[in-house]
Amino acid sequence: MTVTPVLVLLDHAPDGSLRPPVRELLTLARGVAGEAGVHGVWAGDEDLDAALPVLAAQGVSTVHRLVTAADVHLSAVLADGLEAALGASGASLLLLVSSFDNKEAAARLAVRTGAGVVTDADGLTVEDGAVVAHKTVLAGTWTTRCAVSAPSAIVTVKANAVPAQDAASPSSPQVVDLPVEVRAGSTRVRLVERTEHAASGRPDLGSANVVVVGGRGTEGDFTAVEELADVLGGAVGATRVATDEGWIGHDAQIGQTGVTVSPRLYVGAGVSGAVHHRGGMQASGTIVAVNSDPDAPIFEIADFGIVGDLFTVLPQAAAELRRLQG
């Protein structure tokens, strides 16, 4: 067991609320942390008061709040902050939500500190004193366990890796301001503009428990897809064809070059299951496919496949679910 604390980056929205996967990471962190417990690192000017009750319930002992005039949205600046937080906490394991910006910071940190880094983990254990990350690779077709042999480890963790659970006994987290010395090189990139994506009112695609996806088969009409997503409390995703056609925003694209999802439930409607798309969803817990073509490749990986017309199957499923839920 590690005697040093485990440090978790506390990703949060502009209103200061924690991103949902952070609770999962904190749950994982407690599982491997031992006596030294779990620390958080807060990057950004947002007020963290709203997050404190969650952090207390998760048993976080200390939150290192980065203090810097530089913009922590720049991954090099974030890396500077995380380096400081690793120093202040003495942690030898850092967990981050798997996102492109977090991976950028992880890469820089690994180069600087000599840490071993594993991305897109869906589980974590400590074996013989070494951090072992579990992950699926090659578009969800293989599972691996990967040990970090360096003295310190950085692991980025996918959403829905574990169910979030509160600690057995809550803590009262201590918030400590941590001044960050920003390297001269870190502010060479200038952030000209940053536009936060508008909230859809639905869960975040990347971390949703349920994702309903529309492809070319929707012919641009996402009503049935959205209706089923709303009954299931899920997010709406799309194939690249649907986003390229402009039927839905590019943020909705799932696949190797879009968002990677691994929800408990994936429903694909009018989606053929091209390899580029599968790379972003094949690790989902349960896969449901509705497609009028019995030879569509998505049926090869579906737990429940329906050969049928999405415009009749989806509304019927939504209506029946509403009835069953009363």
Task: Confirm if 135 and 188 have CB atoms less than 8 A apart.
Answer: no
Closest Cα partner for 204 from 4, 53, 22? 22
223 pairs with which residues across the strands? none
Q: Does 321 bind another protein (CB under 8 A)?
A: yes
Residue 269, amino acid: A
Question: Please, are residues 26 and 52 in contact by the beta-carbon 8 Å criterion?
Answer: no
**Residue 189 interacts with which of another protein, ligand FAD, none, CB < 5 to 8 Å by class:** another protein
Residue 293 touches which of another protein, ligand FAD, none (Cβ within 5-8 Å per kind): ligand FAD
Judged by beta carbon distances under 5 to 8 A according to partner kind, the member of ligand FAD, another protein, none in contact with residue 181 is none
Residue 173 is given by DSSP the state P
List binders of another protein among 19-58 (CB under 8 A): none
Give min distance, CB of 212 to ligand FAD, in A: 13
Asked if residue 307 binds another protein (CB under 8 A), the reply is yes
* Cβ-based nearer residue to ligand FAD, 202 or 216: 216
What are the residues whose beta carbons fall under 8 Å from the beta carbon of 143, sequence distance 6 or more?
A: 134, 135, 136, 137
C-alpha to C-alpha distance for 271 and 286, rounded to whole angstroms: 16
Two tokens at 96? 């981050």
Report the partner that residue 47 touches, choosing among another protein, ligand FAD, none (CB closer than 5 to 8 A by kind): none
Cβ contact 120:135 at 8 Å: yes
Nearest distance in Å: CB 261, ligand FAD: 11
> Residue numbers of the site for ligand FAD (CB under 6 A)?
215-217, 239-242, 253-258, 270-272, 274, 276-277, 280, 290-293, 296, 309-311
- Smallest distance from the beta carbon of 213 to another protein, in angstroms? 15
Place of tokens 């500077």: 80
Which residue number, 4 or 62, has a Cβ lying nearer to another protein? 4
**Minimum CB distance to ligand FAD, residue 171 (Å):** 41
Q: Using an 8 Å Cβ cutoff, are 261 and 204 in contact? A: no
Nearest approach, Cβ of residue 298 and ligand FAD (Å): 7
Q: How far is the CB of 8 from another protein (least distance, A)?
A: 18
